[in-house]
Amino acid sequence: MTAILPASTSTSDARRRSVRRTRPRSWALVLVYGFLTVVTLLSLLPAAWVMLSSFKTGPQVYSGKGFFPSPPTFQGYIDAFTEIHLHTYVLNTLLYAGGGTIGAVTVAFLAAYPLARYAFLGRNFLVAMFALALAIPLVGLATPVFFVVRELGMFDSRIGLVIFYSALELPFSFIVMRSFLLSLPPEVEEAALIDGAGYFTTLRRIILPLSRPAIATVCVVAFVKIWNEFFFANLLTVTQSNHNVQLALSGFKSQFGYNVTGAMAGATVIMLVPIALFLLLQRQVIAGLTAGAVK
């Protein structure tokens, strides 16, 4: 027995070591890296080209020569802010995305808690309703949404758009929040309830702090989605001073028919906001987008 033991451990060690090596061999590694590099460069290429070109002069862009700006200029950025007043749209969009996110997350949190915690008649129906809303191509509802918004006196209004975006991001926020709350053991707040704390006190003092990871995830994703939203902004606003950045972008095409670097600079600014948020909060963005979508 004693003679066998060391031998068997050494083979199992060897086996474990060989098993650990789930990574490819060296020739395969070359293929893997080659493949990944091609895909990565491809993903990067169009946007990176526009970002780099935003520092070019108009003539250099039109000449189509050279990937890198030489000499680099900020004229495109100056044009984007002075001619098209990009900052107005940026401020509008910050309001829409910020307000819409706070609205959606607050409302979703308040509804997700009882729908995660308590069993009552109609609960499953309500949950299914929100889940179903995620699976509707909403552009199909464009005209009725316009009609409802107009009847409520919210057409072409900043506050109206904030309320609309709160509703638009509600199903997603609700589903992700509820899944998270389901994973919290009920003992967490039972003590508080027994101690006589009211419903909303328990919600604020106990559940809210525990839900921080889910709230952060939902906030980032909702913010980016509203920042990027084009269709309903286009449908529900007409006055230019109410437009969001995505609409301002489509304005570049006609207004900057002659100023391609202005359009490129504007596009760069508008793309950089979600990219920066993603790079800073990568985990939350990926978790939120995958969780929301997989529901």
Partner 1 sequence: MRTTHQVRPPAPKPTAGPRIPAGMHGHVALSMLPALALFAVFFLVPLVVLAVTAFSRWGAGDFTFTGLDNYRQLFSDPVFWKAAGNTLFYCVASMVIQVPLGVAVGMTLAMKVPGWKLFRTIIFIPFVISGAAYALVFSMFYNPSYGLLNNLLAPVTGGQHDWLFNSGTARWAVAGTFVFIIGFVVVVVMAEVASIPTELLEAAEADGASLMQRQLFIVLPLLRNIIGTVILVRLLVDIGMFDLVYILTSGGPNDATTTLALYAYRAYVHGQWGYANAVGSVILILGATLIVTVRRVFRIGERAL
Interacting residues with partner 1 between 124 and 163 (CB under 8 A)? 124, 126-127, 129-131, 133, 135-148, 152, 163
User: For 124, phi and psi rounded to 5 degrees?
Assistant: -65, -35
Instruction: Using CB under 8 A, pick the residue from 27, 200, 209, 239 that binds partner 1.
Output: 200
- Select 95 or 179, whichever has its Cβ closest to partner 1: 179
Q: Is 223 in the site for partner 1 (CB under 8 A)?
A: no
First to last CA, the chain: 54
Task: Quote the least distance from Cβ 5 to partner 1, whole Å.
Answer: 21
User: For 156, phi and psi rounded to 5 degrees?
Assistant: 55, 35
Task: Quote the least distance from Cβ 168 to partner 1, whole Å.
Answer: 7
Task: Quote the least distance from Cβ 3 to partner 1, whole Å.
Answer: 24
Q: Is 12 in the site for partner 1 (CB under 8 A)?
A: no
Cβ neighbours of residue 203 closer than 8 Å, sequence gap 6 or more:
110, 113
Q: Is 205 in the site for partner 1 (CB under 8 A)?
A: no
Task: Quote the least distance from Cβ 231 to partner 1, whole Å.
Answer: 5
Instruction: Using CB under 8 A, pick the residue from 97, 105, 161, 249 that binds partner 1.
Output: 249
Angle at Cα 126 formed by Cα 122 and Cα 129, nearest 5°? Answer: 140
For residue 163 the two structure tokens come to 């309320």
Place of tokens 């802010």: 81
* Piece of the chain touching partner 1 by CB under 8 A; list 1-9, 71-79, 84-92, 250-258: 250-258
The residue type of 268 is: T
Q: How far apart are CA 269 and CA 273, in angstroms?
A: 7
# chain residues binding partner 1, by CB under 8 A: 122
Q: Is 206 in the site for partner 1 (CB under 8 A)?
A: no
Give the CB-side neighbour count of residue 89, counting CA atoms within 13 A.
29
What mask of x and - would describe binding to partner 1 in positions 66 to 105, judged by CB under 8 A? ----------------------------------------
User: For 9, phi and psi rounded to 5 degrees?
Assistant: -65, -35
- Select 2 or 187, whichever has its Cβ closest to partner 1: 187
Place of tokens 């939120």: 288
Give the CB-side neighbour count of residue 282, counting CA atoms within 13 A.
1
- Select 4 or 19, whichever has its Cβ closest to partner 1: 19
Q: Is 64 in the site for partner 1 (CB under 8 A)?
A: yes
Instruction: Using CB under 8 A, pick the residue from 199, 208, 240, 280 that binds partner 1.
Output: 199
Q: Using alpha carbons, list the distances in angstroms from residue 24 to 21, 33, 256.
A: 8, 11, 50
